[in-house]
Amino acid sequence: MDSDVLVVDDSAAIRKILQRVLRQTGMAINAIHEAGNGEEALALLKEHKVHLILSDINMPKMDGLQLLASLKASGDWSQVPVVMITTEGGETKVAEAVRLGAAGYVRKPFTADQIKEKLAGILEPALPL
């Protein structure tokens, strides 16, 4: 079964880059959904079932850590892997993301290979890469 992926970032540029990178990974993807912040992501998840979430941390309205906490506290989305992709490389933020249940952490700037490697480690063998 092909997967649906949700990309959450307030930068349209990063959403576009991640769309391209995800297509390059070879993942069997049905659709890539986009949200500009955590609130938009939660609204979108009411309409779509997704199998993987890539999220920035610094975003207006609801940041990535708040989104992660909401997802892990929910019954419906607590098992969906969430990978944080962010400029926030400080130990405090990384530790907070890990404590909240992030499946992985990629620091911006990133290469396509770094994203692919991270997703392979998280999704295999749940999703084909």
Partner 1 sequence: MNVENLIESAIHHSVVEVFSTMLSGNIEAGAVTREHTAPETAEGVISFIGIAGRWSGTGSIACSSAVACRICSEMLMMEATSLNEEVLDAVAELTNMIIGNVKSSLERHLGDLGLSIPTVVFGRNFQTKTGGSIDWMVSKFHWDGQELIVKMCLAPNEKTSQNAAQSLGQTCPVEI
Q: How far is the CB of 107 from partner 1 (least distance, A)?
A: 8
Q: Is 108 in the site for partner 1 (CB under 8 A)?
A: yes
Report which of 13, 74, 17, 90 is spatially closest to residue 41, judged by C-alpha positions: 74
What contacts 127, CB < 8 A, 6 or more positions away? Answer: 3, 27, 28, 51, 52
Q: Is 99 in the site for partner 1 (CB under 8 A)?
A: no
Q: How far is the CB of 73 from partner 1 (least distance, A)?
A: 24
Cα 42 from Cα 45, distance rounded (Å): 5
Which is nearer to partner 1, 68 or 88 (by Cβ)?
Answer: 88
The alpha carbons of the chain give a radius of gyration, in whole angstroms, of 13
Cα 48 from Cα 34, distance rounded (Å): 11
Q: Is 60 in the site for partner 1 (CB under 8 A)?
A: yes
Convert 53-69 to b/e letters by CB count within 10 Å (16 or more is b): bbbbbebeebbbbbbbb
Q: Is 74 in the site for partner 1 (CB under 8 A)?
A: no
Q: Is 7 in the site for partner 1 (CB under 8 A)?
A: no
Which is nearer to partner 1, 4 or 96 (by Cβ)?
Answer: 96
Which residue in the set 26, 89, 121, 128 belongs to the binding site for partner 1 (CB under 8 A)? 89
Q: Is 18 in the site for partner 1 (CB under 8 A)?
A: no
- Measured in whole angstroms, the distance separating CA 117 from the mean position of its chain's CA atoms is 14
Which is nearer to partner 1, 3 or 55 (by Cβ)?
Answer: 55
Contact positions vs partner 1 (CB under 8 A): 10-14, 16-17, 20, 58-60, 86-90, 92, 108-111
